Amino acid sequence: MKRKIIQQGNNTLTITLPRPWANEHALKAGMEVDVECLGPSMLVHAGQRKAVRTATLDVSSMDRTSLMLWIRGLYRQGVDDITVTWKDQTVMHYRTGKPVKVIAAIHLEVSRLIGAEILEEAEHSCRIRCIAGQPLDDLDAMLRKIYHQLRQVATDFGNGLKERQWDLLAATEEKHDTITKFTSYCLRLLNKQGAVGTAASLQYVSI
């Protein structure tokens, strides 16, 4: 989308906002928007609270892993309110070959999602709400934590194999959960608030 630059007075240049975008965010004359300069790009943010995104997920025909990945995917997409429904009380965990309770699998996945909580539980449903929101400024700090954890996992895994320290290998799964938690949060931030510029795009690809 291209916009013409209009001269306003001696020192001011202006461009117009697309009408559909302005209507979507209920912007009117006299209101303020946030403008951020990012190299050759410029980000215009409406600065208003977006509508709560909701989703309903039926996990009746899923296994444990699929159930958890679907919830994680909705969280990463930026969904704020997730209603999960099911028929049977258990799902199959194929890695162990044993059934596990649906609600237990949901609790485990929600514990890996920063800012997410189970607000309501019933016999065949529950409601997950993402109640924490952080600015995009957190992204760099979170990425540093991810890379630090990855480096630590690689070091511990190598030492564990070399020196036969099985406790280091056993701790790898816990670190994996931490990395997954931070990665999901970064993706959620990007999907909720957006990012502009080459650097931000490379950050998105890296996670």
Distance, in Å, from the CA atom of 144 to the CA atom of 198, rounded to the nearest integer, reads: 18
Distance, in Å, from the CA atom of 181 to the CA atom of 92, rounded to the nearest integer, reads: 23
Distance, in Å, from the CA atom of 166 to the CA atom of 181, rounded to the nearest integer, reads: 24
What letter represents residue 113's amino acid? L
30 assigned to some structural domain: yes
Predicted confidence band at 13 (pLDDT cuts at 50, 70, 90)? Answer: confident
What percentage of residues in the chain have a pLDDT greater than 90? 35
Last residue of a domain, one of 78, 100, 130: 130
Overall average pLDDT of the 178-189 stretch = 87
Q: Give me the pLDDT at residue 138, please.
A: 66
Tokens of 28: 């009117």
Max CA-CA distance within the chain? Answer: 74
For helices 64-77 and 102-110, give the axis angle rounded to 10 degrees: 40
Task: Give the CA radius of gyration of the chain.
Answer: 22
Residues 15 and 37 grouped into a single domain: yes
Specify the number of domains making up the chain.
3
Last residue of a domain, one of 98, 130, 162: 130
1 assigned to some structural domain: no
Does pTM top 0.75 for this prediction?
no
Provide the domain limits for residue 166.
138-206
Quick: pLDDT tens for 69-115: 999 999 999 899 999 999 999 999 999 999 999 999 999 999 999 98
Q: Which of 12-21, 46-55, 68-77, 137-146 has the highest mean pLDDT?
A: 68-77
Overall average pLDDT of the 146-168 stretch = 85
Residue reference for tokens 């290998």? 169
Last residue of a domain, one of 130, 156, 186: 130
